[in-house]
Amino acid sequence: MNRFILFGHRILCCMFVVIGLMMGCGVKNVQPPTAVAAPQPITIEIKEGFQWPDNDLQKRFQQYWTLRKAGDSTGAFEFEAPHVREMVIWGRYDGFCKAVRSDWTSIRVEKINKITEQLIEVDFNMLINPKYGTSAEVFYRDSWLLIPGQWYHVLKDPFVTGDGFGRK
């Protein structure tokens, strides 16, 4: 009988220990996660004589490519134009953002092509980290759309947006 009581007592003690541990873990989980440091803004150079048509565009462009360089597809997605956000399949977009090279060090903006009053193209070069002693540049053309008061990136990649028509 005594042995039985002793056994029951031990079980009870073990349960208290387990419950205590679980509560301890629970308290740890309740603590707010450490804030993730915002990525360091990328360096944007501009070609001699180049001028941004709009300060907000310059800011949004830098913020967007900072997020892309950091691999923050969720953050970058918020910069995409409304139709892109409704057309794109998230997994495909996420994969696309992660697949695009991020070994570039800075961006040099070459020129702006004004397509319409609200749509512009930004031609720029990505300066690639010189691995074998020589530096390289990759040309990019970005589209940006001004929808009342805000510039949005327009992703024009038919493989990502699924827009079978793509560019003309």
| CA pseudo-torsion sign 101, 107, 110, 113 | positive
CB of 95 to another protein, least distance (A): 14
First to last CA, the chain: 89
Nearest distance, CB of residue 64 and another protein, angstroms: 16
Q: Which is nearer to another protein, 73 or 143 (CB)?
A: 143
Q: How far is CA 106 from CA 40, 66, 82, 102, 138, in A?
A: 12, 10, 28, 10, 11
CA distance 54 to 119: 12
Q: How far is the CB of 124 from another protein (least distance, A)?
A: 17
Nearer Cβ to another protein (26/149): 149
Residue indicated by tokens 């309740």: 30
Helix (H, G, I), strand (E, B) or coil at 155: coil
Catalog residues that contact another protein under the rule CB under 8 A.
81-87, 89, 113-119, 143, 145, 147, 152, 154, 156, 161-165, 167-168
Comparison of 48 and 86: residue with beta carbon closer to another protein: 86
Q: Which is nearer to another protein, 87 or 136 (CB)?
A: 87
Least Cβ distance, residue 56 to another protein (angstroms): 17
Compute the distance between CA of residue 154 and CA of residue 143 in angstroms, rounded to an integer: 5
* Minimum distance, C-beta of residue 132 to another protein, in the bound complex (Å): 38
Token pair of 53, please?
């048509």
C-beta of 98 vs 114, nearer to another protein: 114
